[in-house]
Structure 1
Amino acid sequence: MIRIGTSGWRYPEWRDGFYRGIPQRRWLGHLAEHVGTIEINSSFYHPQPPSNYRKWVAETPPDFTFAVKGPKLITHVKRLRNVEEPLKAFVGSLALGPKQGPVLWQLPPTLRFDRAVLTDFLAALPPGRYAVEPRHESFRDDAYFTLLHAHNVAHVVSDAPTFPCIEAVTADFAYVRLHGHDELYISSYDDEQLDEWAGKIHEWDRDTYVYFDNTMHGAAPHNALSLMARSTSAAPREASPGRPPRRRARPA
């Protein structure tokens, strides 16, 4: 199963492009008609009531999947420590039913890898699919990969110019976030870059979730559609002459 979509859907910058002629109340439904998954971002900033999740479920096709971004109260304020109560409240609010996909934990760039802290955090998670996106170089550590593998938690393979991009596959599914290769949240991915990511997905040979976060100039939905077209027939490709090959994702 390969699910490709965007990180969020409420972007005024898409109004005159992907959403041209579509009223704002139809934006989610319109995007969901074209992609197979979307990351819910609002859950990161503010607690969402179950009624919001039920509303989003009703606006999307039967086979649709949502990833949900875990609250910054847990990742950025509490920094993964003493999170039992907010974790229970967050998980209890999710009302996505069979449309719920992985929960994403995006870590702050100042948070260093601490094996004991991460061990306790992962042990506190209820059953489900989870992905961790670190943004500090200290996570490039075999102990981190081994810990995620033990809990079947996916390391997020991300692409961005401003924080470490660590390629590792640590679970029975893969999770990818493409933030813009050259300019954060802006750069569109060209054909060669999309071919490269399609090749990686093919090589991993497992359930894969991919989210384009290059939203500011409206590239995300178009890149998602282009990668979707490639993903069904992707195969490993040689690097172009004069261009060094990218690192392959390491199993962990």
Structure 2
Amino acid sequence: MTRTTPSLHIGTAGWGLPRAVAEAFPGDGALLERYARVLGCTEINTTFSRTHRADTFERWAMQTPTGFRFSVKLPKAFTHVARLKVPPREVGAFVSSLAGLGERLAVLLVQLPPSLGFDPEVARDFFRSVRAEYPGAVVCEPRHPTWFTAVAERLLVEQGIGRVVADPPKPAGAGEPGGWLGERGDGQGAVVYCRWHGSPRMYWSAYDDDWLEARARELLNWPATTQVWCIFDNTAAGAAADDALRLAARMARLSA
């Protein structure tokens, strides 16, 4: 009997295909087309550092199958330069620029700099601006200890913002899901978003089989209505795509 499992989205930050795994992504077409035939999602990171034309997002959507999903990282101009003190019109302009992704846009990612502490007024105003423009899932990857407090947790829940599960888990608490996890806090109807950066060497190291097996078993315990995202960001040496394939294989085996 097939067990009931959460909705799984496994992919990488970007869609680079290193030579070592190229044969696992066969066929003709652009890299994104080949990638999207095998993996079901990707995280667009280039929006962090530059602006894209509207037709770029349209082209990416057209290169992927109907069920494929994108998450999009918010610009560093919002998170690292303005440090969340962003006029609502700028938030609206960015969200509007993503319209070409259509229904394939599934998550907005807010990654904060390690130096940015929790300021409740600033955070509330920013997330309200985002929520006013985008009704879908929004997740935040904070990297300052002050975001891992009861006060910060309440604000994320209030604004409907999920907290990313990060590896390596820095600071303490970053390796556990938090923020909004559904109306009852049990994951029903929520997005659990994992960003795995590689360990011990961030962005470079591949994950071993035992680590992936343990994560797969943990993630399959979420309810069937939970959307579980697993994004491998250890792209510097090309480990991400292989890790995503290995995790997907484990998930399939354990779900059977």
Is the pair's TM-score, using the shorter chain for normalization, greater than 0.5?
yes
- Matching residue's letter, 1:89: A
Specify the alignment match of 2:107 in structure 1. Answer: 102
Measure, in 1, the Cα distance between the counterparts of 2:221 and 2:157.
18
Q: Gapped runs of 5+ residues in structure 2? A: 1-6, 182-189
What percent of counterpart residues are identical? 35
Q: Gapped runs of 5+ residues in structure 1? A: 236-252
Specify the alignment match of 2:4 in structure 1. Answer: none
Q: Is 1:179 matched with 2:185?
A: no
Secondary structure of 2:20's counterpart equals: coil
Secondary structure of 2:21's counterpart equals: coil
Specify the alignment match of 1:130 in structure 2. Answer: 138
- Matching residue's letter, 1:110: S
Residues 93, 24 of structure 1: alpha-carbon distance in 2 compared, 3 angstrom cutoff: farther
Tell me how far 1:184 sits from its aligned partner.
Answer: 0.5
Residues 86, 3 of structure 1: alpha-carbon distance in 2 compared, 3 angstrom cutoff: same
Q: Return the match for 1:38 from 36, 42, 58.
A: 42
Tell me how far 1:111 sits from its aligned partner.
Answer: 0.3
Q: Is 1:214 matched with 2:218?
A: no
Measure, in 1, the Cα distance between the counterparts of 2:64 and 2:205.
28
Q: Is 1:157 matched with 2:165?
A: yes
Measure, in 1, the Cα distance between the counterparts of 2:79 and 2:125.
13
Measure, in 2, the Cα distance between the counterparts of 1:220 and 1:214.
5
Tell me the TM-score normalised to structure 2 length: 0.84
Residues 23, 85 of structure 1: alpha-carbon distance in 2 compared, 3 angstrom cutoff: farther
Specify the alignment match of 2:122 in structure 1. Answer: 117
Measure, in 1, the Cα distance between the counterparts of 2:254 and 2:145.
30
Measure, in 2, the Cα distance between the counterparts of 1:116 and 1:211.
30
- Matching residue's letter, 1:115: P
Specify the alignment match of 2:11 in structure 1. Answer: 5
Measure, in 1, the Cα distance between the counterparts of 2:148 and 2:42.
27
After alignment, is 210-219 or 141-150 more displaced?
A: 141-150
